[in-house]
A and B are shown apart, each in its own frame.
Chain A
Amino acid sequence: MFYRENGQFKTTYQSDQQIFAIPQDRWAILAIVAVAFIGVPLLVDEYLLRAILIPFLILSLAALGVNILVGYCGQITLGAGASMAVGAYAAYNFLIRVDGMPALAAILLGGLAAALAGIVFGAPSLRVRGLYLAVATLAAQFFWDWAFLRIKWFTNNASSGSVSVADINLLGWTISTPTDKYLFCLGILVVFSLMAKNLVRGSIGRQWMAIRDMDVAATVIGIRPMYAKLSAFAVSSFYVGVAGALWGFVHLGSWEPAAFSIDRSFQLLFMVIIGGMGAISGSFFGAAFIVVLPTFLNQVLGLLGGLFGLEVSVALVSHIEVTVFGALIVFFLIVEPHGIARLWSTGREKLRLWPFPH
């Protein structure tokens, strides 16, 4: 009824090629962004910001990066956690080793360092494919885990092995309260999402998709696999690296290598697959699902325990949480193997015909 495109004629190429060609979509997205920027900081309390919304924003950014590589270029990676670690530690080193380095520049340089590392560890993708590649990317994960734990230079010889960063100062704006942090991350996420959307619908994105769909055929029609694959690794690692730097600088403040362990890599891949491979919106859905689920389960289990008057130990709750998490993941994969983004687009198709489906 409201979501109809009848009568909307496009008369220029520009209007035909917009990101959101339907005005309803455009307004809806603008409204969501406006609410996120203005409404949320006014309405939401600090706990929710710190525990859910900030992790959600940062992990969405990381999932966006992983989605570029896995969803658009078809190269499965299990080393995303390592890219986050490289981003975080490189940003940290830029910040403390270069005098007067602005924090935002350090974060972006951290992303660049992660991109370089991504190119090096993505190089095997030129020879190795599929599951072999997935396992090969684990090499990066374990190597960087080891490097940040054992090579003292990276952590500035910190005796405890953990590093910490003071509050970020951005052109006189000190980012210290959860609301500030939320707005900072949201700003970065919006800019990066827009960039990602434009990348994947541009020439380079189409090359990635051609490689994903059939790399031999793509090579035959003149796409350079080396350039396409390595650029996907670089862009993806840049995104994930920036997310890692944000995770360390903004969310954690002080961190150790365990913050970017292999579980993080699995988590990011889960987000992409549950959210929807090859869909920008899928990264957000997946991140929301994976971030909210443990908190939700925790609350529900606590409630249930209270309801039946059982004394549920913390360890037991965490085991049951893991169990239910695993079961839900399998359930989601069975119900909708193409991810929540697909559910969303089916829903949208239904909405177009509503209330008179024929």
Chain B
Amino acid sequence: MSFFLETLLGGLMSGMLYSLVALGFVLIYKASGVFNFAQGAMVLFAALSMARFSEWIPLWLGMEDNLFLANLLAIAVSVVVMFAVAWLIERLVLRHLVNQEGATLLMATLGIGYFLDGIGQTVFGSDIYKIDVGMPKEPVTVLESVFEGGILINKEDFVAAFIAAMLVLALTIFFQKTATGRALRAVADDHQAAQSIGIPLGRIWVIVWCVAGITALVAGIIWGSKLGAQFSLSTVALRALPVVILGGLTSVPGAIIGGLIIGVGEKLSEVFLGPYVGGGIEIWFAYMLALVFLLFRPQGLFGEKIIDRV
């Protein structure tokens, strides 16, 4: 029983981490109708920038001992870098592809993904770099009074899940309560109507990509301090895709719930089903799980209903 609960909790935690990446997809799709395959590359780029700047800045400023300040500065610089990336993407790519088909836009973001993968590793190097933001590493045992032996929890996962939850809360408030958030939702609803009441489309898109860049940075820092900032981070996006379609492409809560379902499903299937079929099934099992849900709700659990007009 305690083993089952441990797996379940582990699944929920990793689910939160998937949600973080999934959020980036949802934000951009919601506001511009672009399915951003470059999200994984953005996570990698952000993580590399964070890892390298936190290494370089102390060298430049000559303060090797102050880890906290170095991290703070590195985060600030990385935020600026991600803003620059977002601005450039809007300026150089999206502006020229307005009104193109979904498939073309999808391919364009794949191209952006290749570009970011390449340039990130050209500029920042392609080894495994460590990100140390002082995440607690040692596991703890909880609920010893309830179960024999208690449940082993990874503190790092717990902190990560907490940060993810905070980010979601902040985004929800941003979307619901601020003027910019309202403008974003208006653009998401109807580009033309939003434009006709004076919402600047270009600026809104830059903002959305900036927000997605920040989520990528948060995801990059958390995943990076877990696995190290390395190329495989960009494949995290592929793990997050089933989360997005399961939750619905247009729903922020969907990304969270979807992430939890996928995380739990993955872990449970790997532990209880994996041994019978040779293991390593978590990656396709997530997709199959999402597919089963899609067969009943083609627009995802929380997606907007798709209405066909002839």
Contact = CB atoms under 8 A, between A and B. Distances in A.
Interface in B75-106: 92-93, 96-97, 100-104, 106
Contacts of B126: 315, 319
Max count, chain B CB within 10 A of own CB: residue among A220, A315, A333: A333
B153 interface: no
Interface stretch (A3-11, A46-54, A99-107, A143-151): A143-151
B280 A150 contact: yes
Interface string B263-296: 0000000000000011111011001101100110
Interface string B285-310: 00110110011001110000010111
A129 interface: yes
Contacts of B122: 316, 319-320, 323
Contacts of A217: 310
Determine the main DSSP class of A at the interface with B.
helix
B107 A269 contact: yes
**Taking chain B's interface residues, is the majority helix, strand, or loop, or is none over half, making it mixed?**
helix
A255 to B, nearest CB: 20
B241 A138 contact: yes
Interface residues of A, number: 50
A306 interface: no
A6 B97 CA distance: 38
B213 interface: no
B9 interface: no
Contact of A70 (B103, B118, B278, B298): B103
Contacts of B306: 129
A124 B242 CA distance: 14
Given A70-B103, A76-B106, A337-B100, A132 B294 contact: yes
A210 B139 CA distance: 58
B110 A128 contact: no
A226 interface: no
A138 B40 CA distance: 16
A326 B308 contact: no
B119 interface: yes
B101 to A, nearest CB: 8
Nearest to B33: A131
A136 interface: yes
Interface string A120-153: 0000100111111011101100110110011100
A142 B284 contact: yes
B264 to A, nearest CB: 18
Contacts of A319: 118-119, 121-122, 126
Contact of A320 (B100, B111, B118): B118
B-side interface size class = 35 or more
A321 interface: yes
Contacts of A273: 103-104, 107
Contacts of A149: 280
Interface string B104-137: 1011101111111111011000100000000000
Given A334-B93, A337-B104, 17 more contacts: A76-B103, A129-B306, A131-B35, A132-B298, A135-B245, A136-B287, A138-B287, A149-B280, A216-B309, A216-B310, A321-B118, A323-B118, A323-B122, A326-B112, A327-B111, A330-B108, A330-B111
26 contacts: A127-B298, A128-B298, A132-B249, A132-B298, A134-B106, A135-B242, A138-B287, A142-B283, A146-B280, A150-B279, A150-B280, A214-B310, A216-B310, A273-B103, A273-B107, A277-B103, A319-B119, A323-B117, A326-B114, A327-B111, A329-B108, A329-B114, A330-B108, A330-B115, A333-B108, A334-B96
Interface of A: 70, 76, 124, 127-132, 134-136, 138-139, 142-143, 145-146, 149-151, 214-217, 220, 262, 266, 269-270, 273-274, 277, 315-316, 319-330, 333-334, 337
Interface of B: 35, 92-93, 96-97, 100-104, 106-108, 110-119, 121-122, 126, 238, 241-242, 244-245, 249, 277-281, 283-284, 287-288, 290-291, 294-295, 298-300, 306, 308-310
